[in-house]
Amino acid sequence: MRFIGWLCMFFVSLWGTIHPALALGAETERIFSMPVSETEAVITPWLENNGFEVYRAKGEQQEVQLEAEKVGATWLIRLRAHSPLATRVTVREVGGEAYPPLSAFWDHLEGYVKMPSTSELRAARATPDPIQRQINAVVCLFTDRGGTPAQLTGFVVDRQGFIISTAHDLNPGQELSVQFRDGRESVGRVVKLDGHRDLCLIQVPQTLESVIPLRNGRYTPGPADVLFTVGCPRNGLESVVNGVLDGPPRRVDGMPLWQVRMHIEPGSSGSPVFDEHGSLVAVVKGRYRGTNAVGFLIPFETVLNFLDSY
């Protein structure tokens, strides 16, 4: 009875092949490197915790069909073995858009696959305490890039609500949404923007507790120093990554830039970079086109020069 949805889908898809415009919401598919049984064990509690009622049916072979329902939205999810160790997950949205959106569902699965095991977690905790203590000063910034939503990172430098981030994609006076690590949100305004240095200063109308102090900043880290960057958290996971300088500083358009061997995710622009003692040494500018493993940093000195002129 519960699978009337699937039956309807069949007829609608049939109809959709004749009148493509009538086909229901797009189907998205991804492959995850875990068995079907494990994928199901990860998906079901997530759906239930997010208010969906989940009905299950066993398909042919190793196929599992899940129908997740909540007011206004239904997701038809198919899990098929891609191998005994990989699952092809297909989701079709029926009805309106659900909250949380489908992207959160994919993020959860990606996050699970990437989640380190206990022993890896122990190694990851090697993040020095002075850096851990400053994590709360890192914020997520949400804006709009020519009609598509974009995300970048920033960090609080002054209790009076001042946040530093990169300038690309932003305009002077622009308002953007600021999300703090404790979940609070606020609206910030770009009060200063320097496209040449690729830095901007954003102000939020409140007093902030966690600050990355500029007085502890460091001008030139050594080539052997391990650097750490804290990006805007994705999927609720701490994203502290480390790396090292890759060659001497370069000058691009007259501005010094450091190349760094570091895993840099999209959305990391504007993240603070520390040495192992927790001193601010740079800000992430972006990554080398086409790779996540090489990035560019704006040195601390440029940040100070930028603020001096404010």
Partner 1 sequence: MKALTQWCYTALLLLSISSGDVAVSYGQMTAGEPAPLFALKNSEGKSYELAGMKEQPMLILYFFDVASRPSQEGLLSLDKLAKKYKDAQLAVWGITRSDAGQVATFLSQTQLGFPVLIDDGSVSDQYAARIILPTACIVGPDLKLMDYFQGGGKTTESLLVTLAERKLQSRQTDIAKALSNEVTQKDPGNVRAKSVQGYAELKEGDLKAAENTFSKLSKKKGDAEIVGKEGLSQVYAQKGEPDKAMTMAREVESKAGDRAYSHVVRGDLLYSQNKPKEAEAEYRKAIEKQGGSPSQRATAYNQLGRIYATRGEYSKSLGMYDQAVNLDPYFVEATSNKGMTYERQGEWDKALATYRQAQTIDRADPFAATLAANANKMILMDKDPDRRRQVEAQVDAYVQNYKNAVTAATAQSEDPWTSSGTIQILLLEPAETGGLAVRDGFPRVLTLHLADQLNASGRMGVIEPVVLERVIKKLGLTQASLKDPEITLRLARACGVNLIAEGTLYHLSEGTLLKYKLIDTATNQASREISRQIASAATLGKDLHWLNREMLLTIMEAFPLQGYVVKVNGYEVLMNLGSKQGVVVGALFDVVEDQPAVEFKGKVMKPEPLVMATIEVVRVDQEFAYAQIKEQRRQIAPEDKLRENIRVLKGEPISNW
Shortest distance (Å) from residue 197 CB to partner 1: 34
263-267: long-range contacts (C-beta < 8 A, 24 or more apart)?
263/292, 263/293, 264/229, 264/292, 264/293, 264/294, 264/295, 265/231, 265/234, 265/239, 265/292, 266/151, 267/140, 267/150, 267/151, 267/152, 267/153, 267/231, 267/232, 267/234
Shortest distance (Å) from residue 156 CB to partner 1: 17
Q: Which of 20, 146, 147, 183 binds partner 1 (CB under 8 A)?
A: 183
Which stretch in 116-124, 258-266, 269-277, 290-298 sits in contact with partner 1 by CB under 8 A?
Answer: 116-124
Q: Which is nearer to partner 1, 148 or 207 (CB)?
A: 207
Q: Which is nearer to partner 1, 86 or 150 (CB)?
A: 86
If one asks whether residue 309 binds partner 1 (CB under 8 A), the answer comes out as no
If one asks whether residue 187 binds partner 1 (CB under 8 A), the answer comes out as no
Neighbours of 74 (CB within 10 A): 21
Considering only residues 45-104, where is the footprint of partner 1 by CB under 8 A? 45, 49, 60-62, 80-86, 88
Q: Between β-strands 185-194 and 199-203, what pairing exists: parallel, antiparallel or unpaired? A: antiparallel
Shortest distance (Å) from residue 210 CB to partner 1: 12
Q: Which helix (H) or strand (E) holds 127?
A: none
Q: Which helix (H) or strand (E) holds 252?
A: strand 250-252
Shortest distance (Å) from residue 22 CB to partner 1: 28
Maximum distance among all alpha carbons in the chain?
69
Distance of CA 180 to the CA centre of its chain: 14
Q: Which is nearer to partner 1, 55 or 288 (CB)?
A: 55
Shortest distance (Å) from residue 281 CB to partner 1: 25
Footprint of partner 1 (CB under 8 A): 31, 33-38, 41, 45, 49, 60-62, 80-86, 88, 115, 117-119, 121-122, 125, 182-184
